[in-house]
């Protein structure tokens, strides 16, 4: 048949020409068929296709050693098979595509499932909606896409590789662009020029190179050695093998390295970082817990470890360190920089070359935060030199005294603000505590950064403000906020004044204010109103904040606080009150302020006036959290500052204190808990008396939260509130529920893999060792489960399909249970000796093909239903997407054990083959993955029988050794001492004392069970048996080479 350019031939049935037919096509020639097109029957010499196209509704088949130029569209395709096959054109299949070894396709290939043999060349792209399998030494010129992609060794991909599922790339392969998939496994010596993005687990084989950023949401494992030029990012752990070289930042939960590694870039590990010996890091390291193992590692960069930093022998950090607990182990661990610590332990020749800043303070000339075992004395060249925390903004510059410039009555008091400045314009304050003595008046005050100090004078006229630092002269400047000048003058007027003292207090709590009327004699102040009653005008004003809506409450009498007078500061409302002064001119009045802030109380008569400031802190904090909460997941705590009556204090508002930064700064921390767990404290500020903080507790159970406000506005008033009692601990926040269960196999001897493929399996009815871990949202175990939460839980253990879909109920069922008592510190490992039996999966029909399952765990209430939010499951959930909690995904095989029968000579050893087999779906075949099944000597039953034509002597029975399978096979050696036979059976039961084979006779030999009931048959003679026969048949006297029967 010849189809020339521009013509088409349509066949309504299958096209399958014979040997003597020919086919030629060129140009735009086209052949279409409603069936299949099979050109293999034609003599290759009679095929000449230099152009055109084929379109088959069924399969297109061409495997002959010919070169063809044509585009092909078909229901499915089979291409190549004989050396020399080459097709030029695009291959488009609605079904599967199979390309045989050494075939060449000069074009693109697409189908539902694409499989190639080895040494296949595809010049274009390869795309499949299903699985892609590329044979070794093959090449694809452009990109590859598929639902899952497997590339054997030495494969070359010119473009990107994108999979909706797993990606496995064999050794010595290369990809010219990005690689994307769920779980990605790269074998040894793989080269990727582009990014590698795994939404699940990423494993990089030894000697591999990736020139681009890599990410593995669940975890990343870089085997030894590997080279990465790009960032390394994971929401889970990162394991870096020895001799790895990474040029890029690293970010994960737990980052650990082999010895040695070279890392160039900043490292952030949200849980823990370990650096093995001999390693080099050029970049900053941040992690709560850091271990740098001995020896000789060098880090060039700053190191921040919130909890601890341990440096082994000869480890060196060229940079500053900020940590809680610093340990420099013996010997010669060195920090070439400053170290800010809660506490440091310096062992033999451990050194910090610059200063150690004790975060909790130290005495001058001492190192109160250091256990110095370095053999270098304190304050020597090599020894520790310590200071209190490093001040913000650098060293001390000067003090700044700020005042309002208004006149003040002689003998009364005036408040001024003093700041310890760290720079010339005082925009930065010292972070250390400072004590000053103020003049005039000699009042002293201690503060951090800035504080309020009172001045007073008995001398009328102008007094200059000044101060001393702990009694010693120091530099200071003044600033008059009224005249905007540096004037230090304060004018004291008149001869008399009120000295008013109002105790600082908590909002809504009553205190007694003291007024003293004093008259100056020019050198000192003396009582002015003695044993008299005066009508005094009282007013108040807001200092910080400068406005407010809640009143100062004045008690009508010392004994009557029930009906107080409201003194509104913002409205400048005054109260006239008959006030009685005693013999030293003092009067008392009970008052309280129901808001927070700094308030000035003023008193005035016709002849005397005065004012006094006081500070009021919130009485307590209400702390409200949702319930329940998830371990390791951020949660919000709402804080409300309240007065003693339970009303909100709206002036506890950060915007109202521009002159006092961090005025409302409150620390929220965990004050006690049930079990283990650490929670980082969080500082927050308030708006309108309310604040919200994001907190995170990584464990299961209950905690108490505590809010601490220290020395509000420098007053010394401290407000501390907790959600429950701390002594004894009665926590009220929670419960914190584990985020999910992680289910994995707890059997390292049975985990099998080859070329990145998981080959782990268990027999039907065989116990599956599981490790079930209650995890938090960070992928870490919750060790408090179930002791602090969950002791009353029940559980469901189930099996689903590999993809998470339900299994067909007719396939089989999972047996096994789980109890809360099986958990220890968040981990359950059911064994034969635990309360709950191990899980087993049993096929309904023994003749069932291997099936991969996925094991699933979920908690439930022992009775009734779980409250909302208390459910814990292992099934995939968007809340912890990418964590892959269901890691136990074994293949289940229906298995059996067989003993072959053999004939042998008397006195000569005879080997009886023992094989493990499994059902493929079509037949029983050797299970070459079984290298662990063992039949002990005690489980082997033997019964000897004499030859009926002999002398009646039975062969002697010898005790064989254990039968250990390797590659699914073993030999059982039997030696016969006389003519006859020995029947052998294996007692595979768990506890039976006799085998259940078909060869048993009475009396049945006693045996101990091998504990392999999953290799027994499910019905009839369940145990395997065989027969060794000795010396019964005479040897052959002739050899027959060929026999042929002829029928005429």
9-44 pLDDT, tens digit each: 999 999 999 988 889 999 999 999 999 999 998 998
Has residue 1042 got a pLDDT over 60?
Answer: yes
Query: Nearest CA to 460 among 524, 406, 402?
Result: 524
Mean local confidence (pLDDT), 995-1013: 85
pLDDT at 831: 81
User: Do 823 and 864 have their domain in common?
Assistant: yes
User: Do 1022 and 954 have their domain in common?
Assistant: yes
pLDDT at 751: 78
Has residue 1048 got a pLDDT over 60?
Answer: no
* Residue 817 included in any domain: yes
Q: Which of 617, 642, 671 is a domain's end point?
A: 617
User: Do 1004 and 904 have their domain in common?
Assistant: yes
Can you give the CATH number for the domain in which 716 is found? 2.60.40
User: Do 591 and 630 have their domain in common?
Assistant: no
Q: Which of 680, 702, 737 is a domain's end point?
A: 737
* Residue 841 included in any domain: yes
Has residue 662 got a pLDDT over 90?
Answer: no
Token output for 266: 């900043």
Mean local confidence (pLDDT), 640-654: 96
Structure confidence at residue 94 as a pLDDT band (50, 70, 90):
very high
- Please give the distance of CA 717 from its chain centroid, rounded to a whole number: 40
Token output for 343: 């506490």
pLDDT at 351: 94
Pick from 184-193, 236-245, 411-420, 623-632: least confident: 411-420
Pick from 233-237, 415-419, 925-929, 1001-1005: least confident: 1001-1005
Give the strand pairing for 525-527 and 565-567.
unpaired
Structure confidence at residue 452 as a pLDDT band (50, 70, 90):
confident
For residue range 565-614, list pLDDT tens digits in order: 889 887 767 888 889 999 999 999 999 999 999 999 999 998 888 888 89
Has residue 845 got a pLDDT over 70?
Answer: yes
Question: Whole-angstrom Cα distance, residue 233 to residue 214?
Answer: 6
Specify the higher pLDDT residue, 362 or 410: 410
Structure confidence at residue 433 as a pLDDT band (50, 70, 90):
confident
User: Do 728 and 807 have their domain in common?
Assistant: no
Mean local confidence (pLDDT), 936-962: 87
User: Do 607 and 642 have their domain in common?
Assistant: no
- Please give the distance of CA 699 from its chain centroid, rounded to a whole number: 13
pLDDT at 393: 42
pLDDT at 1035: 52
pLDDT at 391: 44
Has residue 247 got a pLDDT over 90?
Answer: yes
Pick from 157-161, 410-414, 444-448, 825-829: least confident: 444-448
Has residue 877 got a pLDDT over 80?
Answer: no
Helix H or strand E encompassing 525: strand 525-527
Q: Which of 443-457, 621-635, 670-684, 997-1011 has the highest mean pLDDT?
A: 621-635
User: Do 730 and 846 have their domain in common?
Assistant: no
* Residue 150 included in any domain: no
Q: Taking the model in full, what pTM does it have?
A: 0.59
Instruction: List, in order, residues 6 or more apart from 923 with CB less than 8 Å away.
Output: none
Specify the higher pLDDT residue, 561 or 310: 310
User: Do 968 and 918 have their domain in common?
Assistant: yes
Q: Scan for tokens 């599981």, then name that residue.
A: 770
Has residue 625 got a pLDDT over 90?
Answer: yes
Token output for 298: 């060098």
Share of the chain above pLDDT 70, in %: 96
* Residue 47 included in any domain: no
Mean local confidence (pLDDT), 62-86: 93
CA Rg value for the chain = 43
Cα-based angle 532, 502, 684 (whole degrees, multiple of 5): 165
Structure confidence at residue 797 as a pLDDT band (50, 70, 90):
very high
* Residue 148 included in any domain: no
Share of the chain above pLDDT 90, in %: 69
Return the biggest CA–CA distance within the chain: 158
Segments forming the whole domain that contains residue 887? 746-891
Mean local confidence (pLDDT), 651-674: 91
User: Based on the structure, what is the number of domains in the chain?
Assistant: 5
Number of other CB atoms surrounding residue 1048 within 10 Å: 2
Specify the higher pLDDT residue, 95 or 1035: 95
Question: Whole-angstrom Cα distance, residue 285 to residue 302?
Answer: 6
* Residue 26 included in any domain: no
Q: Are 395 and 404 in contact (CB under 8 A)?
A: no
Q: Are 733 and 704 in contact (CB under 8 A)?
A: yes
Can you give the CATH number for the domain in which 591 is found? 2.60.40.10
User: Do 598 and 666 have their domain in common?
Assistant: no
Instruction: List, in order, residues 6 or more apart from 168 with CB less than 8 Å away.
Output: 149, 150, 151, 184, 185, 187, 755, 756, 757
User: Do 760 and 869 have their domain in common?
Assistant: yes
* Residue 56 included in any domain: no
* Residue 1040 included in any domain: no
Mean local confidence (pLDDT), 681-707: 95
User: Do 778 and 861 have their domain in common?
Assistant: yes
Average pLDDT, the chain: 90
Q: Which of 856, 891, 926 is a domain's end point?
A: 891
User: Do 704 and 760 have their domain in common?
Assistant: no
């Amino acid at each position: 048949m010849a189809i020339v350019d521009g013509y088409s031939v349509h066949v309504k049935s299958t096209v399958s020409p014979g040997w003597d037919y020919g086919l030629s096509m060129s140009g735009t020639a086209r052949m279409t068929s409603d069936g299949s097109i099979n050109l293999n029957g034609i003599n290759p010499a009679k095929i000449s296709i230099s152009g055109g196209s084929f379109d088959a509704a069924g399969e297109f088949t061409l495997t002959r050693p010919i070169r063809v130029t044509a585009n092909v569209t078909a229901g499915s395709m089979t291409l190549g098979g004989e050396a020399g096959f080459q097709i030029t054109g695009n291959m488009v299949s609605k079904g599967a595509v199979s390309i045989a070894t050494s075939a060449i396709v000069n074009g693109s290939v697409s189908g539902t499932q694409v499989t190639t043999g080895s040494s296949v060349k595809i010049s274009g792209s390869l795309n499949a909606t299903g699985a892609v399998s590329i044979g070794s030494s093959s090449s694809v010129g452009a990109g590859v896409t598929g639902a899952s992609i497997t590339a054997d060794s030495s494969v070359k991909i010119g473009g990107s590789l994108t999979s909706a599922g797993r990606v496995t790339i064999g050794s010595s392969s290369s990809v010219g662009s990005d690689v994307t998939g769920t779980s990605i496994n790269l074998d040894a010596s793989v080269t990727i020029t582009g990014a590698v993005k795994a939404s699940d687990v990423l494993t990089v084989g030894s000697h591999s190179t990736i020139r681009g950023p890599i990410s593995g949401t669940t975890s990343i494992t870089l085997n030894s050695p590997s080279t990465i030029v790009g960032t390394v990012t994971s929401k889970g752990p990162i394991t870096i093998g020895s001799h790895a070289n990474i040029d890029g930042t690293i970010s994960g939960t737990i980052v650990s390295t082999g010895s040695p590694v070279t890392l160039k870039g900043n490292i952030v590990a949200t849980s823990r970082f370990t650096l093995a010996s001999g390693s080099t890091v050029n970049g900053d390291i941040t992690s709560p817990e850091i271990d740098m193992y001995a020896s000789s590692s060098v880090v060039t960069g700053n190191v921040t470890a919130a909890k601890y930093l341990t440096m082994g022998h000869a480890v060196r950090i060229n940079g500053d360190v900020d940590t809680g607990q610093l340990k420099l182990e013996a010997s010669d661990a060195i920090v070439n920089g400053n170290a800010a610590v809660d506490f440091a332990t310096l062992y033999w020749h451990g050194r910090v070359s610059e200063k150690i800043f004790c975060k909790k303070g130290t005495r001058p000339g001492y190192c109160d935060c250091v256990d110095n075992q370095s053999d270098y004395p304190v304050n020597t060249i090599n020894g520790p030199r310590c200071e209190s925390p490093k001040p913000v903004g650098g060293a001390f510059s000067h003090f700044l005294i700020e005042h309002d410039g208004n006149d003040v009555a002689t003998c009364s008091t005036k408040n001024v603000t003093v700041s310890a400045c760290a720079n010339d314009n005082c925009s930065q304050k010292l972070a250390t505590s400072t004590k000053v003595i103020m003049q005039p008046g000699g009042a002293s005050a201690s503060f951090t950064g800035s504080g309020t100090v009172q001045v007073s004078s008995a001398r009328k006229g102008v007094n200059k403000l000044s101060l001393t630092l702990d009694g010693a002269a120091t530099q200071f400047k003044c600033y008059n906020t009224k005249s905007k000048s540096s004037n230090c003058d304060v004018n004291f007027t008149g001869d008399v004044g009120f000295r008013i003292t109002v105790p600082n207090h908590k909002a809504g709590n009553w205190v007694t204010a003291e007024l003293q009327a004093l008259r100056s004699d020019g050198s000192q102040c003396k009582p002015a109103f003695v044993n008299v009653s005066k009508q005094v005008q009282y007013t108040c004003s807001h200092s910080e904040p400068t406005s407010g809506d809640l009143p100062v409450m004045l008690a009508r009498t010392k004994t009557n606080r029930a009906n107080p007078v409201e003194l509104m500061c913002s409205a400048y409302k005054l109260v006239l009150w008959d006030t009685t002064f005693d013999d030293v001119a003092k009067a008392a009045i009970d008052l309280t302020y129901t808001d927070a802030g700094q308030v000035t109380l003023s008193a005035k008569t016709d002849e005397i006036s005065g004012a006094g400031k006081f500070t009021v802190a919130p009485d307590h904090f209400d702390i409200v959290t949702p319930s329940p909460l998830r371990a390791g997941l951020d949660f919000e705590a709402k804080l409300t500052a309240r007065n003693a009556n339970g009303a909100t204090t709206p002036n506890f508002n950060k915007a109202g204190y521009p002159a006092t930064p961090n005025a409302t700064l409150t620390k929220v921390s965990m004050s006690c808990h049930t079990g283990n767990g650490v929670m980082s404290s969080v500082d927050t500020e308030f708006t309108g008396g309310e604040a919200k903080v994001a907190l995170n507790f990584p464990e299961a159970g209950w905690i108490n939260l505590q809010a601490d406000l220290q020395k509000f506005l420098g007053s010394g008033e401290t407000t501390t509130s907790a959600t429950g009692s701390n002594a004894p601990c009665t926590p009220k926040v929670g419960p914190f529920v584990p985020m999910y269960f992680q289910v994995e196999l707890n059997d390292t001897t049975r985990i099998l893999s080859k070329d990145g493929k998981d080959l782990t399996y268990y027999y039907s009815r065989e116990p599956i060792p599981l490790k079930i871990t209650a995890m938090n949202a960070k992928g870490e175990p919750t060790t408090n489960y179930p002791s602090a939460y969950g002791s009353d839980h029940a559980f469901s253990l189930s099996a689903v399909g590999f993809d998470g879909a339900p299994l067909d109920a007719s396939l089989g069922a999972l047996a096994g249970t789980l109890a809360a008592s099986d958990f220890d510190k968040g981990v359950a490992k059911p064994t034969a000796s635990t309360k709950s039996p191990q899980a087993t999966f049993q096929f309904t029909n023994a003749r069932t093909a291997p099936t991969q399952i996925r094991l699933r765990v979920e908690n439930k209430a022992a009775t009734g239903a779980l409250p909302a939010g208390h459910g814990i499951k292992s099934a995939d959930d968007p809340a912890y997407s990418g964590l892959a909690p269901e890691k136990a995904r074994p293949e289940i095989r229906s298995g059996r054990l067989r003993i072959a029968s053999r004939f042998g000579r008397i006195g000569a050893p005879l080997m009886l083959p023992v094989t493990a087999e499994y059902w493929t779906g079509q037949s029983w075949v050797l299970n070459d993955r079984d290298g662990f099944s063992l039949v002990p000597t005690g489980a082997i039953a033997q019964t000897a029988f004499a030859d009926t034509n002999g002398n009646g002597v039975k062969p002697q029975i010898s005790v064989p050794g254990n039968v250990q399978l390797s590659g699914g096979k073993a030999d059982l050696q039997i030696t016969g001492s006389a003519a006859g036979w020995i029947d052998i059976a294996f007692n595979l039961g768990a506890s039976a004392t006799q085998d259940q084979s078909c060869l048993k006779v009475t009396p049945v030999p006693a045996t101990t069970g091998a504990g392999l009931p999953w290799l027994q048959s499910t019905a009839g003679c369940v145990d395997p048996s065989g027969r060794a026969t000795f010396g019964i048949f005479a040897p052959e006297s002739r050899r027959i080479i060929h026999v042929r029967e002829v029928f005429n």
